[in-house]
Amino acid sequence: MTVQVGDRLPEGTLSEFIETETAGCSLGPNTFEVADLVKGKKIVIFGLPGAYTPTCSAQHVPGYVQHADALKAKGVDEIWCISVNDAFVMGAWGRDQKATGIVRMMADGNAAYSKALGLDADFSKHGMGTRSKRYSMLVEDGVVKALNVETAGFEVSSAEKMLEQLG
């Protein structure tokens, strides 16, 4: 079952490659409980099939990096990119995309969280196994307030569309 507007995000974990060691976060991959990260925050989450893939690298991530200040001006606390890749790949891709410190590059290495959201997709015919559908959502204090799932192409999950929805 796919998560819907009004639903609370499912429990689960995501990993993030931490570039700078801080109290409670060591350098390298760190695993976080989603429920802890979303408490009391307004977060834009976008999911995509994979790091370094053409549309994801040319449009999806760059759009959120470019419009991060505008999203934050509308009250967004954090922006997350979720992909079925490991934290090392997501960290490297984030550096490549100039997203470090702007978009949290969250790894869903085994697609467990994408499956919990009901937003997983079978990319086996492309040799990529289980991946994430392309989507965006607005989450406030763990509750989904807006959800945009692509059916084909790249039309409804862009940063520009999310800005429109935020008013």
Whether 56 is catalytic is yes
Strands 42-48, 28-33: pairing is unpaired
DSSP H helices, 67-154, are 68-73, 87-96, 112-117
- Residue of 37, 48, 56, 84 marked catalytic: 56
28-33: strand order across its sheet: 28-33, 13-18, 104-107, 78-83, 42-48, 135-140, 143-149
d(CA 49, CA 163): 22
Among all residues, which ones are annotated catalytic? 56
